[in-house]
Amino acid sequence: MAYDTFAPSQDLNSGPFSPAADSALWRKQFLLGAATASYQIEGAVHEDGRLPSIWDTFSAIPGKVLAGDTGAVACDHYHRWEGDFDLLTALNFEAYRLSIAWPRVMDEAGRPNQKGLDFYKRLLARLKEKGLKTFVTLYHWDLPQHLEDRGGWLNRDTVYRFADYADLMSRELAGQVDAWMTLNEPWCSAYLGYGNGHHAPGLANGRFATQAMHHLLLAHGSAIPVLRANDPASQKGIVANVGRGTANSASAEDQRAAHLFEVQHNAWILDPLLKGAYPEDLFELWPGTEPLVLDGDLKTIAAPLDFLGINYYFRTNVESDGGHGFTEVPLEGVERTQMGWEVHPDGLRDLLIGFDKTYSNLPPIYITENGMASDDKVVEGHVDDPQRISFLKRHLAAVDSAIKAGVDIRGYFVWSLMDNFEWAFGYERRFGVVHVDYETQKRTVKRSAELIAKFLAERRLRN
């Protein structure tokens, strides 16, 4: 297999990455890790009994994914995971966040697929051998296609099928998982998948989005007691992607627009989880889209959490649309990534401090994803990614500022360990700290990863 031997560059002192001397990030209790997701890296979509997922179906439709890319091969992690895990330890990461492919571990009747289960058992056993903390996401968007054929997240029955899936995985993997995450970014699953059609399964209806969200959150709440019963020593949580909304002017209308942006992006998920109710403002923004909520649903959704995963990437500047909504107003002259997203680390700090003030029962937080895409290229065996280095340093400083302001933040996971299938953007957008040549599957450590490894080695010596 084509893996580069990890050999740090000799110029690591230029453009220092290390946090400030008084940063909380130097404490060994603050966990630093890398994250990935099954469909984005595994490939092997037809091997060992894996069933089709909604992303297999969606990416095969012409025009849905940039350049017609699919996750059929991806990073071939299914066959190359041992080398990828060697990179994890060579880079001194302390934790690894992965997801399980639901279509790989169960058949259409809900029976276990032993070959799929054995794959994840091997992965977790090796991570434990290496001394890494294991953070496992049950659902990172790859819903089995046979469940989508019966309505997917619009069908309440999918809630019960998810509970069955959580039961199987937590029984089979008990003792190997330090932290379970039920869902990754339900906002994306509901809004991008069912509200505007940008993601699988490609439906576009406002009422579909709110009903899908309700069933996603209900699935989460239904899984939490199952996870607690089967694997009591592990932590249990959920991952929400959050966005900072800022107003284009000081007018009351634009300030209201910024508030509504954060309602639909953040409170839509966090309020039912932490307050047991949907925000009323949500249905001012989207009138007539109220989901069907049965007695007891919101109590189930608000099951106590051991931690909350937060994914953050950018802020959005908005103005009033003249009615009850908002319109994005892109700012000029700001730094942007390959995705076109504004680099705004202060947004992460502000959101974390704001959540701490808004939710009296806010659980401890892990930053479960933060990172950026850039058009990285291998030049003479090296990949320089100065924007990513600056991005990570500034966002880690924002996390440190939030900790100093009293927010209980326990760790940070860079997105992503390696370049991978970036959903509707295919393979063009590179988020990894390790470069992947998709033709040869050769991995090349980027300079950002070298600097992370240097910092973690220094921290280990200090502690």
Tokens standing for residue 242: 């959050």
- pLDDT of amino acid 4: 36
Instruction: Give just the sign of the alpha carbon dihedral 37, 73, 108, 104.
Output: negative
Give yes or no for residue 6 having a pLDDT over 50: no
**pLDDT digits 0-9 by tens, 74-85:** 999 999 999 999
Secondary structure of residue 43 in the 3-state scheme: coil
Looking at the DSSP bridge assignments, the partners of residue 413 are 33
Secondary structure of residue 108 in the 3-state scheme: coil
- pLDDT of amino acid 182: 99
- Rounded to the nearest angstrom, the gap between the alpha carbon of residue 383 and the centroid of all alpha carbons in its chain is 24
Residue 14: count other Cβ atoms within 10 Å of its Cβ.
Answer: 10
Specify if 425 maps to a domain: yes
* CATH number of the domain where residue 227 is located: 3.20.20.80
* Range with the poorest average pLDDT among 3-12, 139-148, 380-389: 3-12
**Catalytic-labelled residue, pool 42, 94, 262, 369:** 369
Specify if 400 maps to a domain: yes
Total count of residues recorded for the chain: 463
**pLDDT digits 0-9 by tens, 136-176:** 999 999 999 999 999 999 999 999 999 999 999 999 999 99
CA proximity to 163, closest of 121, 216, 113, 214 = 216
Looking at the DSSP bridge assignments, the partners of residue 180 are 136, 236
Tell me whether strands 434-437 and 442-445 are parallel, antiparallel or unpaired. antiparallel
- pLDDT of amino acid 140: 98
**What are the C-alpha distances in Å from 454 to residues 4, 10, 370, 410, 416?**
18, 11, 19, 21, 18
Residues of the binding site:
40, 140, 184, 313, 415, 422-423
The angle subtended at Cα 18 by Cα 348 and Cα 184, nearest 5°, is: 35
Looking at the DSSP bridge assignments, the partners of residue 316 are 245
Specify if 35 maps to a domain: yes
**pLDDT digits 0-9 by tens, 419-455:** 999 999 999 999 999 999 999 999 999 999 999 999 9
pTM score, two decimals? 0.96
**Catalytic-labelled residue, pool 42, 94, 148, 185:** 185
- pLDDT of amino acid 1: 28
Give yes or no for residue 207 having a pLDDT over 60: yes
Please give the helix or strand (H or E) that residue 259 lies within, else none: helix 252-262
Query: Does residue 369 carry a catalytic annotation?
Result: yes
Q: Which domain holds residue 106?
A: 24-462
* Range with the poorest average pLDDT among 5-9, 316-320, 457-461: 5-9
**What are the C-alpha distances in Å from 332 to residues 317, 340, 375, 384?**
11, 12, 21, 26
CA proximity to 38, closest of 441, 407, 312, 420 = 420
**pLDDT digits 0-9 by tens, 318-333:** 999 999 899 999 999 9
- pLDDT of amino acid 17: 72
Tokens standing for residue 199: 């993601």
Are 110 and 146 contacting, i.e. CB atoms less than 8 angstroms apart?
no
Residues of the binding site for substrate:
40, 140, 184, 313, 415, 422-423
**Count of domains in the chain?**
1
**What are the C-alpha distances in Å from 244 to residues 248, 308, 331?**
13, 17, 14
The model's confidence at residue 16, banded by pLDDT at 50, 70 and 90, is low
The model's confidence at residue 124, banded by pLDDT at 50, 70 and 90, is very high
Give yes or no for residue 399 having a pLDDT over 80: yes
Give yes or no for residue 13 having a pLDDT over 90: no
The model's confidence at residue 94, banded by pLDDT at 50, 70 and 90, is very high
Strand locations in 209-306 (E): 235-247
What distance in Å separates the CA atoms of residue 132 and residue 94, rounded to the nearest whole number? 5
Q: How would you classify residue 197: left for phi > 0, otherwise alpha for psi between -120 and 50, otherwise beta?
A: left
Q: How would you classify residue 309: left for phi > 0, otherwise alpha for psi between -120 and 50, otherwise beta?
A: beta
How many percent of the chain have pLDDT more than 70? 97
String of b and e for 99-124 (b: at least 16 CB within 10 Å)?
bbbbbbbbeeeeeebeebbebbeebb
The model's confidence at residue 19, banded by pLDDT at 50, 70 and 90, is confident
**pLDDT digits 0-9 by tens, 260-305:** 999 999 999 999 999 999 999 999 999 999 999 999 999 999 999 9
- pLDDT of amino acid 315: 98
Specify if 115 maps to a domain: yes
